[in-house]
Amino acid sequence: MGSTYQTLLVAADFDATVDALCDAGVVGVVVPLAEHRVAVLPKESEWDQAPVRSIGEGLSVSLSCPALAMSVFDSDLLCCYVIRDGGIVHTYINDVEMTVEWVPEEDGQFHPMIDGVVHSVDFKIPKGPAGDDPAAFASFAVGVPDLNAIAAALRNEGTSAHVMAEVQHEELLAALGLPSRALTTAYRHCEPAVFPDAIVLELE
């Protein structure tokens, strides 16, 4: 069984992020990473899914800042969602082929469905990444963004190319100049003591 987790990167002040999460009733762990870079590890549902996109959408409005929702599934699939002004403005998928679902149609055959769109049986399923534009991630970098390094990570061309999705995720975070540990840890596996400056949010 591979790694599965969802985390959120918020480009805002740490204390302001904590206050906004409290106002929204979010349960989770909040970790400061750098100036105006905050990791949010929301508590998962019973299906090990954390609502990072909806939380990010809310914070992008209440804090007037961009957010990056990230998801790794079974060490195979890495998805990133750039969020601004309450909506997703850019989506990255490390391997589009991994997202294909096969659905039965009236012709008695199974058709490929990608992102809710059903295609013909002979549709050529794309391979490799989608949304691998490094400029879309530049605003989350610490300091001057290294677009070449970000592109290499998005296209799985880094030093650990063709490995598990969480390793590719670590390379992307490194290219952004961010520590990776908090953003690659699920809430259910998090030991807050590992992050001395973390704040644990609980319902009263």
The per-residue pLDDT for 6 is 98
pTM (2 d.p.): 0.92
| DSSP secondary structure code for residue 163 in this structure | S
Q: Is 129 helix (H, G, I), strand (E, B) or coil?
A: coil
Closest Cα to residue 6, out of 81, 112, 64, 66?
81
Sequence letter at residue 113: M
Residue 1 pLDDT:
65
**What whole-number distance in Å separates Cα of residue 63 and Cα of residue 72?**
26
What's the confidence (pLDDT) of residue 49? 93
What pLDDT score was predicted for residue 47? 82
Choose among 96, 151, 148: nearest CA to 119. Answer: 96
**pLDDT score of 158:** 66
Helix, strand counts (H, E) of the chain: 4, 10
pLDDT in tens, the chain (204 residues): 689 999 999 999 999 999 999 999 999 999 999 999 999 999 999 888 999 999 999 999 999 999 999 999 999 999 999 999 999 999 999 999 999 999 999 999 999 998 788 999 999 988 889 999 999 999 999 999 999 999 999 998 866 566 799 999 999 999 999 999 999 999 999 998 999 999 999 976
Residue 161: per-residue pLDDT: 62
> How many angstroms separate the CA atoms of 203 and 198, rounded?
17
Q: Cα–Cα distances in Å, from 71 out to 118, 120, 165?
A: 24, 29, 10
Q: 2, 75 in Cβ contact below 8 A?
A: yes
